[in-house]
């Protein structure tokens, strides 16, 4: 592979005067005299206390030097086989026509995943997935012929292309076949029918065009193109496709993870790339690619209130629904604290944006670079960042009261009320702390209304004259994902280098964004939601969630008029085509 070195220094406008100078240069007599004069003047004008504060603002971060913050990855173009490395053919009309046909045909298969689907071996609604697996085999004959195809728990798919060097750990490319359903009441609002796979000349419209048949078909297109050109991998390549990601992956990726773990062993995979991340987008005047190196955790909490019923013509001061409403108000009254630390991928995203962005506010840039070394700067940075809702949720545990059930008849007092709360756990928080907080809030309301409390498997309160009981438990728990390091990690360098090659040298940007610096800065990021990767943690330490597309080229995933541009899709195909080769050319493990 060809390595294209770039200058890793800060943009000229963002360099401080002493960056890049030697200690000797910083300590010349004239410089010492100048610093002393400035210090005396400041001392006289603003006093000792303010002088200290001003010096703290002027100093660069004590935690980092310029070269340590988010080093720029080297651009990687596959170089061992010039016949394979060329990606320009993806731009031709003939390939674009072929690609849109394959991708459109995939969208036309309505692999909808409903919340009430039963076991995969029982519920006939799963049978549509037979059509999709058959489509993959028929549409990508070179992949089908070269790989060993395994079916796991009926519809989970594993395509294994054996490499010639068994000492090299495999590359796993993951995705999911299922899509979120289209409710009958919203189908008429679509510009084109959601499972027609309509191409308007620019965009492919349809459910799953973005999430995640764009990725799945892109992976198969890339491998098919390589095999058609005679590609023979040294490193084994595995494609793993779940079928129920949109409802948690318990029957699909969970079984795939177990299968691959038993077959390959713990930490047996070199790197795994699944859907997700934040694509390629402009931030603060610079172009960033944001693969996710972690995910927030999650906890679904159920609170049940059992109360004494009766006729509604003789009601108590507060019915069970009224008490539940008060509990909801109390829960929502306080948000979880905001924090950001090196434990979270979002911290490292902020460092990258502070170093490489052209137009970030200077004060915000300074405060971000001092997140570890200056508590006052950290407080100011968090305050500024929290004005954006996406940034805010990445710095805290969130709560969303999504489902409430209560009552069954208009003239009967409700005897049971159920509240369901979805939490997303930040890296700086924990499920145990969340439980402790909720138990305290529930106990407060329970004392007010003489209610017993059972919380998370333990009896917490028993009233002398109980009028009912709160039962609190989690229906699901998931801690934040292990964070993949980007420091001295060859898998990150291969991923980032492939991204830079495709989105700097292959992607064609419209004239409206040509003024943006063409350089793509690849930064870690954090996902607020969860992907199938939760079931692959034991396979590798190198897990990346990245849908290779410019964010403005995909619209409305999971919503009415979901669509993705063909140009964006083709760039994704080129990415997988490049990544597979770059990883295969790497000799390490």
Catalytic residues: 178, 245
Report phi then psi at 401, rounded to 5: -80, 105
Q: What does the alpha-carbon distance between residue 87 and residue 3 come to, in Å, rounded to a whole number? A: 17
Q: What does the alpha-carbon distance between residue 353 and residue 368 come to, in Å, rounded to a whole number? A: 9
Sequence ranges of the binding site for Zn(2+) = 176, 211, 246, 274, 558
Contact yes or no for 285/359 (Cβ under 8 A): yes
Contact yes or no for 309/415 (Cβ under 8 A): yes
Beta strands in 170-270 (DSSP E): 171-176, 198-199, 203-205, 237-242
Cα distances (Å, whole numbers) of residue 439 to 405, 472, 477: 20, 8, 16
Contact yes or no for 291/277 (Cβ under 8 A): yes
Helices (H), 485-565: 490-500
Q: Token pair for residue 458?
A: 């333990």
Does residue 38 sit in helix, strand or coil? helix
How much is the CA Rg of the chain, to the nearest whole Å?
A: 28
Expressed in angstroms, the distance from the first to the final Cα of the chain is 17
- How is residue 535 annotated by DSSP? G
Report CA torsion sign: 483, 489, 495, 497: positive
Contact yes or no for 76/503 (Cβ under 8 A): no
314 Rama class: left (phi>0) / alpha (psi -120 to 50) / beta: beta
Pairing of strands 148-152, 452-455: unpaired
Q: Which helix (DSSP H) or strand (DSSP E) does residue 30 occupy?
A: helix 29-58
* DSSP codes joined into one string, 38-87: HHHHHHHHHHHHHHHHHHHHHSPPSS--TTTSSPPPPEEE--S-HHHH--
């Amino acid at each position: 592979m060809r390595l294209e070195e770039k200058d890793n220094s800060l943009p000229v406008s963002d360099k401080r005067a002493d960056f890049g100078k030697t200690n000797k240069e910083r300590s010349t007599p004239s410089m010492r005299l100048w610093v002393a004069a400035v210090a005396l003047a400041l001392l006289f004008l603003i006093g000792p206390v303010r002088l200290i504060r001003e010096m703290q603002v002027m100093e660069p971060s004590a935690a980092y030097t310029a070269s340590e913050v988010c080093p720029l990855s080297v651009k990687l173009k596959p170089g061992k086989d010039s016949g394979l490395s060329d990606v320009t053919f993806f731009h031709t009309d003939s390939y674009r026509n072929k690609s849109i046909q394959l991708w459109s045909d995939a969208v036309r298969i309505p692999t909808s995943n409903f919340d009430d689907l039963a076991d995969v071996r029982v519920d006939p609604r799963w049978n549509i997935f037979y059509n999709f697996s058959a489509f993959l085999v028929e549409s990508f004959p070179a992949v089908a012929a070269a790989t060993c195809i395994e079916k796991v728990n009926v519809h989970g798919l594993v395509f294994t292309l054996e490499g010639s060097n068994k000492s090299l750990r495999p590359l796993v490319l993951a995705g999911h076949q299922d899509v979120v359903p289209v409710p009958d009441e919203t189908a008429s609002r679509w510009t084109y029918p959601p499972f027609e796979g309509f191409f308007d000349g620019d965009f492919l419209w349809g459910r799953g065009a973005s999430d995640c048949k764009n990725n799945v078909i892109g992976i198969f297109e890339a491998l098919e193109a390589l095999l058609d050109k005679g590609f023979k991998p040294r490193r084994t390549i595995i494609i793993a496709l779940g079928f129920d990601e949109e409802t948690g992956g318990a029957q699909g990726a969970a079984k795939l993870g177990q299968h691959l773990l038993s077959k390959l062993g713990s930490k047996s995979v070199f790197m795994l790339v699944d859907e997700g991340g934040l694509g390629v987008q402009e931030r603060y005047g610079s172009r960033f690619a944001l693969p996710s190196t972690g995910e927030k955790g999650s906890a679904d909490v159920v609170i049940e209130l059992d109360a004494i019923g009766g006729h509604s013509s003789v009601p108590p001061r507060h019915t069970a629904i009224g008490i539940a409403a008060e509990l909801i108000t109390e829960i929502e009254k306080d948000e979880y604290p905001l924090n950001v630390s090196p434990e979270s991928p979002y911290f490292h995203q902020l460092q990258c944006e502070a170093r490489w962005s052209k137009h970030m506010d200077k004060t915000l840039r300074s405060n971000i670079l001092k997140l570890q070394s200056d508590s006052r700067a950290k407080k100011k940075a968090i305050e500024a960042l929290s004005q954006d809702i996406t940034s805010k949720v990445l710095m805290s545990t969130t709560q969303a009261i999504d489902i409430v059930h209560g009552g069954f008849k208009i003239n009967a007092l409700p005897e049971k009320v159920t509240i369901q709360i979805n939490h997303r756990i930040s890296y700086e928080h924990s499920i145990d702390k969340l439980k402790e907080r909720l138990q305290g809030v529930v106990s407060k309301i329970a004392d007010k209304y003489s209610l017993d409390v059972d919380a998370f498997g333990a009896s917490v309160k028993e009233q002398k004259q109980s009028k009912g009981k709160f039962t609190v438990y989690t229906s699901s728990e998931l801690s934040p994902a292990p964070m993949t390091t980007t420091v001295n990690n060859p898998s990150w360098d291969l991923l980032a280098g492939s991204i830079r090659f495709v989105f700097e040298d292959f992607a064609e940007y419209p004239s409206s964004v040509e003024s943006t610096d063409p350089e793509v800065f690849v930064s870690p990021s954090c996902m607020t939601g969860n992907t199938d990767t939760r079931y692959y943690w034991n396979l590798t330490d190198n897990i990346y969630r990245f849908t290779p597309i410019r964010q403005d080229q995909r619209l409305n995933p999971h919503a009415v008029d979901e669509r993705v541009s063909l140009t964006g899709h083709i760039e994704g195909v080129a990415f997988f085509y490049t990544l597979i080769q770059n990883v295969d050319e790497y000799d390490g493990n």
